[in-house]
Amino acid sequence: MPLQIRLDEQLHQQRMTLTELSERVGITLANLSILKTGKAKAIRFSTLEAICRVLQCQPGDLIVFEDDEEEGAV
């Protein structure tokens, strides 16, 4: 999938664990794991807002678009 989730990098920058984030944003660890591993089909604005607020980042820091096909063609 061209959309990459950069949750790990942001967690690392903030020196925070996934469990800690889960407690602070009020989203289950299971759901955050789905997001982290790129298995989520969609993300609610409320989830995105909560994560950005806690990790003090922008949505663009969390979600990055990388077109694999174009890279392969070059």
Partner 1 sequence: MKLNALTLSRLLVRILFWLNIVLAAAFVALLLWWSVSPHWIESILGAKYGSGKANEIRELMQAALLLGILTAAPVGMILAMLLRMIETVRAGTPFVAINAQRLRLMGWLVLGLQVADLIFSALGIYAGSLHADWQGSTPSLMGWLLALLLFVLARIFSEGVAMRDDLEGTV
Residues that bind partner 1 (CB under 8 A): 27, 31-32, 34-35, 39-44, 47
Helix (H) or strand (E) holding 65: strand 63-65
Select 15 or 44, whichever has its Cβ closest to partner 1. 44
CB 19 within 8 A of CB 48: no
Select 30 or 74, whichever has its Cβ closest to partner 1. 30
Select 14 or 31, whichever has its Cβ closest to partner 1. 31
Helix (H, G, I), strand (E, B) or coil at 5: strand
Least separation in angstroms between residue 71's CB and partner 1 is 26
CB 11 within 8 A of CB 17: yes
